[in-house]
Amino acid sequence: MGSPRTLFDKIWDSHVVDVQEDGTCLLYIDRHMVHEVTSPQAFEGLRNAGRPVRRTGQTLAVADHNVPTEGRDKGIADEESRTQVETLAANCAEFGVPYLEMNDIRQGIVHIVGPEQGFTLPGMTIVCGDSHTATHGAFGSLAFGIGTSEVEHVLATQTLLQKPAKNMRITVEGPLRPGLTAKDLTLAIIGKIGTAGGTGYVIEYAGEAIMALSMEGRMTVCNMAIEGGARAGLIAPDQTTFDYVKGRPMAPEGADWDKAVEYWSSLPSDEGAAYDVEIKLHTDEIAPQVTWGTSPEDVIAVTENVPNPADINDKNKAAAVQRALDYMGLTAGQPMTDVKIDTVFIGSCTNGRIEDLREVAAIAKGRKVAEGVRTLIVPGSGLVKRQAEEEGLDKIFKEAGFDWREPGCSMCLAMNADKLAPGERCASTSNRNFEGRQGRGGRTHLVSPGMAAAAAIKGHLADVREFL
């Protein structure tokens, strides 16, 4: 027996093919997800070099960023988006890569599709040309985003060159109370460590509050590891994980399943394993969160007031806060709950799963969206959409005045037709509130699905706990 190892160490060690002198490792990659934005040059590179895709069965492609969320029967109106999606389809056909086309019920946001299909499994190395690949770490797999040239490398070789990361453990103790969700935990963590706090680390999330989360909640937490600067987020696989994976289309079956569970059960960090950094939070300190600025770390409790630059000693910091307030059109010191909103976006790989939609329906039921508020509910996949409709959630949404759409990334980053207008203010369940993220000049407040629903009903940012 060697020294105690972390979950990250175990996955890493079992995938190293070769170590170079400077410590860089050649890692075997188990799963490669592909979308339309970061793959065209990668396929082009293969074509130019006359190389095939090394393991097509371990690759899965789906278009999500550029697909429209309404009128799909008429195809894609925007020419650039249409070209992106058609190029992916053509590349997949040429290279034999499995592709879920836009009208396939399984189509959706890549990070929602992988887990749904059982393509994402514990203990694996999983990559995608997309920063939110961290989502899949919820299964106890090492999952991270890669650049387009790396996409080409993985397509060609099923391996990747990587430097090892350091271990960070973030432990969240205490129970989850009503109104407090996985989104609030992950936002509060980023508020605590900052957007550069995780740089150079893989974060393992642990503790009572994390382990009590469903798989969907765990995905929400790991999804935003990247916003905390980390290479990846991880949660130890347990019975919750196995129950979610069992019976998925691509999950192992029969004797293979038993062997897999035995192996997955050996993955949690060993007693006494060393972490380079340990961070601790308690749910007592966490209330429903909302961002006020233009970075995910600009986050406070909904019960607090917009920060005042005059209260900040560090001149540069104060100036940065003032700049963010100017962009966001907020007044220093105003209560967050006074902030009126124009739009509500519910969806994305952070919060576009069925449990998120149930959270919204619980608030929307029997209520009405406030006069003049534009809303979009975009399920994360066709399967999420179907499930929601089977449960009658779409009826609740429509009766309340919400707009119910087709699956995709949508207004999370506005690469399709769903955009904010300049100055428009949005309560959004997505993961980035950068300037212009949801449309040029648009203003984003990141919140949980319940908080987004509460804002839609009230017409201003509101504490979801008032509705419970």
Ligand X SMILES: CC(C)[C@H](C(=O)O)[C@@H](O)C(=O)O
Per-residue exposure over 134-152, b if at least 16 CB sit within 10 Å of its own CB, e if not: bbbbbbbbbbbbbebebbb
Looking at residues 42 to 101 of the shown chain, list those that interact with ligand SF4 (rule: CB under 6 A).
Answer: 64-65
State the Cα–Cα distance between residues 321 and 162, nearest whole angstrom. Answer: 36
Answer yes or no: are the C-beta atoms of 8 and 25 closer than 8 Å: no
Q: Identify the CA nearest to 168 among candidates 345, 27, 9.
A: 9
Site for ligand SF4 contains 130 (CB under 6 A): yes
Of 178-186, 307-315, 407-415, 419-427: span binding ligand SF4 (CB under 6 A): 407-415
Site for ligand SF4 in 414-433 (CB under 6 A): 430-431
349 in a known ligand binding site: yes
**Beta bridge partner(s), residue 108:** 381
Residue 92 labelled as part of a binding site = no
**Nearer to ligand SF4 by C-beta: 113 or 361?**
113
Interface with ligand X, residue 65, by CB under 6 A:
yes
Query: Cα–Cα distance between 244 and 214 in angstroms, integer?
Result: 9
Minimum CB–partner distance for residue 272 and ligand SF4 (Å): 36
Give the separation between CA 433 and CA 408, rounded to whole angstroms: 18
For the bound state, the minimum distance from the C-beta of residue 409 to ligand X, rounded and expressed in Å, comes to: 7
Among 10, 15, 31, 132, binds ligand SF4 (CB under 6 A): 132
Output the six-digit token pair for 204. 């393992």
The helix/strand/coil state of 300 is strand
Toward ligand X, which CB reaches closer, 288 or 296?
296
Residue position matching structure tokens 């969160």: 289
| Residue 167 interacts with which of ligand SF4, ligand X, none, CB < 5 to 8 Å by class | none
* H helical segments located in 207-276: 208-211, 215-223, 239-245, 254-264
Draw the binding track, 390-419, toward ligand X (x: CB under 6 A; -: no contact): -----------------------x------
Q: Which of 29, 34, 37, 206 binds ligand X (CB under 6 A)?
A: 37
Element containing residue 426 per DSSP (H, E): strand 425-428
CA distances, 303 to each of 49, 71, 346, 465 (Å): 57, 40, 22, 11
What's the closest the beta carbon of residue 408 comes to ligand SF4, in angstroms? 8
Binding residues: 349, 409, 412
Residues at the interface with ligand SF4 (CB under 6 A): 64-65, 109, 111, 130, 132, 348-349, 409, 412-413, 430-431
Residues at the interface with ligand X (CB under 6 A): 37-38, 65, 130-132, 145, 413
Binding residues for [4Fe-4S] cluster: 349, 409, 412
